[in-house]
Amino acid sequence: MARQSDRVRQLIDELSSGDSSVVDDLFPLLYEELHQLAQRHMEKERSGHTLQATALVHEAWLSLMAGNSQTTKYQTREHFMAQASVAMRHILINRAKAKNADKRGGGWNQIQLDEVVEEFEGRSIDLLALNDALERLRVLDDRQARLVEMRFFGGMTMEQCAAVLEISERAAYQEWAHARAWLRLQLQEL
């Protein structure tokens, strides 16, 4: 396991250095972890969603690799997975927007928030409303928005988030508390 972890670290470093030839070696090593991440995203989707976790993994991978042409620097495996989570979120948001477009009949997607955001337990939240609130938060505080993406959408621990954001775990908890309170207020106004 340590060998595989070292190999993943090496490949991510090479990818960050602009070596796209490592993509075919990296994908199989991260596939299971990416699939679990996609399943967590899909659990929050409305029932009857047509996109499967496997397809979400592949779309997110393609998105990440297309973005890598600008030589994205991934500091750690967790940072890479956080970016994958963001890519998955954007894919789902874009699909929800297309579904809700007037030419497609409108309607709202409801998702059930999980235990990560305990203040919202039991409430259904519109994915697009959550995305809009998150984008407004990004304007006010990009780090808090990134933290919400990693915790809520990526299922990352506070320790992992702190490492990716390069802040202390205590600071991460404080940022998390502020972001949750702000989002709660924004979503209650709907």
Q: How confident is the model at residue 113 (pLDDT cuts 50, 70, 90)?
A: very low
Q: How confident is the model at residue 108 (pLDDT cuts 50, 70, 90)?
A: very low
pLDDT of residue 114: 43
Q: What is the DSSP string of 41-66?
A: HHHTSPTT----HHHHHHHHHHHHHH
Structure tokens at 3: 């060998």
97 contact partners, CB below 8 Å, separation of at least 6: 128
Instruction: Count CA atoms within 13 Å of residue 100 on its CB side.
Output: 14
As a whole number of angstroms, the distance between CA 89 and CA 116 comes to 16
81-94 pLDDT, tens digit each: 888 888 888 888 88
Task: Cite the beta strand spans of 103-164 per DSSP E.
Answer: 110-112, 124-126
Calculate the average pLDDT of the chain.
Answer: 79
Residue linked to tokens 């991460």: 172
47 contact partners, CB below 8 Å, separation of at least 6: none
Report the pLDDT averaged over residues 108-119.
Answer: 43
124 or 188, which is more confident: 188
pLDDT of residue 169: 92
- Angle, alpha carbons 84-143-58 (nearest 5°): 10
143-182 pLDDT, tens digit each: 999 998 888 777 788 998 898 899 999 999 999 999 988 8
Q: Collapsing DSSP states into helix, strand and coil, what is residue 107?
A: coil
Structure tokens at 8: 């993943």
pLDDT of residue 63: 84
For residues 15 and 22, the answer to whether their CB atoms sit within 8 Å is yes
